[in-house]
Amino acid sequence: MAISDYPSRLSLPQTNPGVTTVLEYLIIKFPYIDAQVWRQRIAHGKVHYHDRSLVTAQSLFQPQQRIYYYREVESEPSIPFKEEIIFQDEHVLVAYKPHFLAVTPGGIYVNECLQNRLRLSTGIETLQALHRLDRVTAGLVIFSTNPSTRHRYHHLFQTRQIHKTYQAIANISHGENLIGQEWQVKNRIVHSEPRFRMCVTNGEANSHSVIRCLQQSAQQALFELNPVTGKTHQLRLHMEALGWPILNDKYYPKLHPLSADNYVAPLQLLAKELQFIDPMTQQPRCFSYGHSLSLPN
């Protein structure tokens, strides 16, 4: 059994969904976790309030209470790739996340994630990710190292003041001449089934990406992708919409059966560069990962 070293947190909603106790809320909030699991966690003192006092099976639901719990999984895989710290100061840390490593705990991963690895290696227990990358995507992630200034950096993401540059590789058809071309992709992205998968639907556009072709060989091309908005799986869907789904994508255009990670065939998507005006110094910042995706010879 793997148990998280750090608690997960949630705030009870303002509107009561029709429950009496905190336990009842947790059961309906997480339908894929057996109710008995929550009863055992509470009985063993693994669910508590912000002041560390324990939640009991009889604790009443009160709107906006903060609840902390410790995630558990039967077996947690170890990801055999190493992260890299690119930059660190008193406010932020920028790190390279390898393919297959989650940014924060999720699913079958409770301790094996970038945030927990960095907390251990730096000793900064309050270190917190400011944004996310898909587990199968590699690239740069910014973390807050200072809780007192964290909101200043969160605001940059909320107001789209972070300019992100990605790279992707896709298969192309014989005879396509794509180098130097640019595409503006705008469409409406919503949740699909299963819930973790997204899809493009009719309606007002809520996603926007700018995509360019940098290089190509006879069978593949290297693209630069600049997301203007930040919808889940946006770049993966926008590449599919252009007819070039990203190489080794197990979700798009077709959902592959659940299987173990194939470490020799990672999704060919890299968060290459982040640019923004630092809210503390008002100076421009540009962080770029030193390696690029490359087409086979």
Q: 176 lies in a domain?
A: yes
Q: Verify that 252 and 174 share a domain, yes or no.
A: yes
Q: 278 lies in a domain?
A: no
Q: Tell me the whole-structure pTM to 2 decimals.
A: 0.85
Task: Look at residues 73, 99, 118 and tell me which one is the last residue of a structural domain.
Answer: 73
Q: For residue 230, is pLDDT > 80?
A: yes
DSSP labels, the chain: -EE-SS-EEEE--SS--S-SBHHHHHHHH-TTS-HHHHHHHHHTT-EEETTSPBP-TTPBP-TT-EEEE--EES--PPP----EEEEE-SSEEEEEEPTT-BSS-BTTBSS-BHHHHHHHHH--TT-EESS---TT-EEEEEEE--TTTHHHHHHHHHTT--EEEEEEEEE--TT---TT-EEEEEEEEEE-SSTT-EEEESSS--EEEEEEEEEE-SSEEEEEEEESS--TTHHHHHHHHTT-PBTT-SSSSSPPPP----TTS--SEEEEEEEEE-TTT--EEEEE-S-------
Q: 68 lies in a domain?
A: yes
- Specify the CATH number for the domain of residue 131: 3.30.2350.10
Q: Can you give the residue range of the structural domain that contains 140?
A: 84-162
Residue 7: band (very low, low, confident or very high) from pLDDT cuts 50, 70, 90: confident
Give dist(CA 56, CA 36) in Å, integer: 14
Mean per-residue pLDDT for 273-290? 97
CA-CA distances (angstroms) from residue 172 to 80, 235, 290?
31, 17, 26
Could you report the per-residue pLDDT of 164-189, keeping only the tens digit for each?
A: 999 999 999 988 999 999 999 999 99
Q: Verify that 59 and 102 share a domain, yes or no.
A: no
Q: How many structural domains is the chain composed of?
A: 3
Share of the chain above pLDDT 70, in %: 99
Q: 79 lies in a domain?
A: no
Q: Verify that 51 and 41 share a domain, yes or no.
A: yes
Q: 287 lies in a domain?
A: no
Q: Verify that 158 and 141 share a domain, yes or no.
A: yes
Q: Verify that 19 and 95 share a domain, yes or no.
A: no
Q: For residue 5, is pLDDT > 90?
A: no
Q: 277 lies in a domain?
A: no
Q: Verify that 52 and 117 share a domain, yes or no.
A: no
Q: Verify that 130 and 206 share a domain, yes or no.
A: no
Mean per-residue pLDDT for 192-203? 93
Q: Verify that 93 and 111 share a domain, yes or no.
A: yes
Q: Verify that 43 and 105 share a domain, yes or no.
A: no
Q: 285 lies in a domain?
A: no
- Specify the CATH number for the domain of residue 13: 3.10.290.10
Q: Verify that 173 and 233 share a domain, yes or no.
A: yes
Q: 78 lies in a domain?
A: no
Give dist(CA 131, CA 133) in Å, integer: 7
- pLDDT at residue 8, as a whole number: 87
- pLDDT at residue 296, as a whole number: 80
Could you report the per-residue pLDDT of 117-140, keeping only the tens digit for each?
A: 999 999 999 999 999 999 999 999
